[in-house]
Amino acid sequence: MTEPSVISVIPPIVVLTLAVWLRRPILALVLGAIVGFALLDFSAILDNFATSSLKVMADETIGWLILVCGSFGALIALLVRTGGALAFGRNALKLAKGPKSSLLMTYFLGIVIFIDDYLNALTVGETMRRVTDKFKISREMLAYVVDSTAAPVCVLVPLSTWAVFFGGLLVDNGVAPEGQGISVYMQAIPYMLYAWVAVIMVPLVIIGVVPLFGPMKKAELAAREGQPALEQVDLDAVHTPDDYAARAIEQEFEQADEHGKLYNFLVPIGLLVAFTVYFDIDVWKGLLATLAVTVPFYLAQKLMPLADMLEQMIDGFKSMLPAIGTVIAAFIFKDVCDQLMLPQFVINSLSAYMTAELLPAMVFLSMAILAFATGSSWGIFAVTIPIVMPLAVAVDANIPLVIGALLSASSFGSQACFYSDSTVLAAQGSGCNLVSHAITQLPYALLAAAIAFVGFLLMA
């Protein structure tokens, strides 16, 4: 195309509609790309799709994402198998003196396990459930603490699967220079207001500064009276946007060593932080060095044979395939949108009506609604970043603030959506009825979102 046209918005509309309807972000992105290629040249759909996909696979950013996401999966699989994180719960059971201290330990563990929200949601719930049950804390309260320290914490830490994924998107969309995705991501961390508010709100709820209200208050009163927790729904019948990865980590937990040592979790996490900082925030080098030390460290303890360890790492790599597939499909979709001149059309159409002061709040509001509706915290934002960021540049908005608004909306969707992967895993790990967990935590998530929205208006 030689001029921006309204037809350029058709592929994004197709993707968003299919994402809400099917809850299959990869399929939605691929079908949206096909629609885009059909608009460009119907007779050459196959050729153009093949050319674009090969160009994407030759992209250095894609190679980096595949290696880093896959290696994160391998490391997470090893951490789960050795059972080091589960040891935290056994120690906490000895130290907890009452309801508040047990919930604060749950909160602390959620912050420590910052590497991935799936690992966080299952590990924290599984390890702390017996502790909180002892002090008659409702499963709903436990699930709320677990969910609030899953995606919101992972978003705020640059050494997580979230940072790797979104850092790659920032590079591909020209927001960050080559190799600087994580650095630009770190500049936006102070502006990820929803995540900050959600994380800070948890201890305030625990100690009573933010009072219990609504369904959560009823659940807590029922637990104190000794009423049994509601029966779990059939989680196999609950379709999440990323079933494969969620099921994969559930299977890894089934094989976890229930008598693992805490240091087998803390040492690799400490190494990852230290090596990444040593290599000037190069996550790939940090992961390589961490795995190079962790594998011999586990072998020396005879935790498992080398063959089992390698198989576990391969399974962990495979668990990241949905994330890798999402970003590949997103890059292909971005390529066709660029050819349709979508960014130019959005800029020409909206820049006259949008101000730099209003954009971050509007981005947060619209994307939060979209993330809540789709349950997709990654796929939808792979579609919207190529649209939002050029508009932000055109109206001279604060770029880190806009990135913070996007990531805030993403973490809100992950926590608040009733059928998001994080919500399902938090309910499962905590032994809480899924619907009850979603309903009891929603008022707190909405309160945090309202505070974040006001914050974006004030900070702009």
Q: pTM (2 decimals)?
A: 0.82
Quote the CA–CA distance of 24 and 376 in Å, as a whole number: 9
Quote the CA–CA distance of 383 and 142 in Å, as a whole number: 34
Quote the CA–CA distance of 351 and 331 in Å, as a whole number: 25
List the chain pLDDT tens, one digit each, 460 residues.
667 788 988 998 898 888 778 778 888 889 999 999 999 999 999 999 999 999 989 988 888 888 988 898 899 888 888 887 677 667 766 777 888 998 998 898 889 888 777 777 777 887 788 788 888 899 999 999 999 998 899 899 988 888 888 888 888 888 888 888 889 999 999 999 999 999 999 999 999 999 999 999 999 999 888 776 666 544 454 555 555 555 665 666 666 667 788 889 889 989 988 998 888 878 899 999 999 999 999 999 998 899 999 999 998 898 888 878 888 888 898 889 889 888 888 878 877 778 888 999 999 998 888 888 777 777 777 778 888 888 898 889 999 999 999 999 999 988 888 877 788 888 888 888 888 898 999 999 999 999 999 999 999 6
